[in-house]
Amino acid sequence: MNTMRRTALLLGILFAFFTPAWADEPQRDLPRVTLSAGMHLIQAQVAASFEQRATGLMFRTDMPANEGMLFVFEEPAGQCFWMKNTLLPLTAAFIADDGTIVNLADMKPQTLDSHCSAKPVRYVLEMNQGWFAKRGLKAGAKLGGALFR
């Protein structure tokens, strides 16, 4: 098992045992940012704190077609995601500082499978599964937005 996957597993175990009681409700009042993918606009909620990132899109039963969640980390690192308590099938785009999609991962709901970035990234954008594929967006595509340098 590589280091990124071990770290993701350890963090998942810690989160499972130390999740506060408030975390069984979806978070919906996060700040928002508009991103672009070619001619497509994305309204993304921004999860920037540890608690916001840990809860992510858990417990949501729906998400509008052009909305998602952008996870922002303090610095680029290997990022791994899983789907515990997440009810929606999602695709994660692992994104470099300049907005380039490094890799994409389709994720099944309510699983503990680890989905990791192919290289260190600062951003991860989760959208409804199939959103990127339907728009022909793959690794190497560039997203626009004020956060990307």
Dist. CA 81–CA 70, nearest whole Å? 13
Structure confidence by residue, pLDDT tens digits, 22-37: 457 788 789 999 999 9
Q: State the burial class of residue 135 (Cβ atoms within 10 Å of its Cβ: 0-12, 13-18, 19+).
A: middle
Q: What are the pLDDT digits (tens) for 30-85?
A: 999 999 999 999 999 999 999 999 999 999 999 999 999 999 999 999 999 999 99
- Find where tokens 């389709």 sit: 106
Tell me the three state secondary structure of residue 23: helix
Residue 4 has pLDDT above 90, yes or no: no
Q: Within a domain: residue 9?
A: yes
Residue at 94 is within a domain: yes
pTM above 0.75, yes or no: yes
Nearest to 97 by CA among 75, 116, 68: 75
Residue 39 lies in a domain: yes
Given a cut of 90, whether residue 7 has pLDDT beyond it is: no
- Strands, E assignment, 20-131: 32-37, 40-47, 67-77, 80-81, 90-95, 101-107, 115-116, 121-128
Write out the residue range of the structural domain in which residue 86 sits.
3-18+31-134
Q: Is residue 63 part of a domain?
A: yes
Task: Encode pLDDT of 71-129 as tens digits.
Answer: 999 999 999 999 999 999 999 999 999 999 999 999 999 999 999 999 999 999 999 99
- Do the domain assignments include residue 130? yes
Which has more pLDDT, 14 or 96?
96
Instruction: Identify whether 26 is part of a domain.
Output: no
Kind of pairing, strands 80-81 and 115-116? antiparallel
Q: What is the pLDDT of residue 25?
A: 77
Q: How far apart are CA 141 and CA 91, in angstroms?
A: 15
pLDDT of residue 100: 98
Task: Give the CA dihedral 131, 132, 133, 138, nearest 10 degrees.
Answer: -170
The tally of domains found in the chain comes to 1
Local structure of 96: helix, strand or coil: coil
Residue 21, pLDDT above cutoff 50: no
147 assigned to some structural domain: no
| Residue labelled with tokens 């998400």 | 63
CATH number of the domain that residue 82 is part of? 2.60.120.1140
How far apart are the C-alpha atoms of 38 and 141, rounded to whole Å? 9
Residue 142 within a domain: no
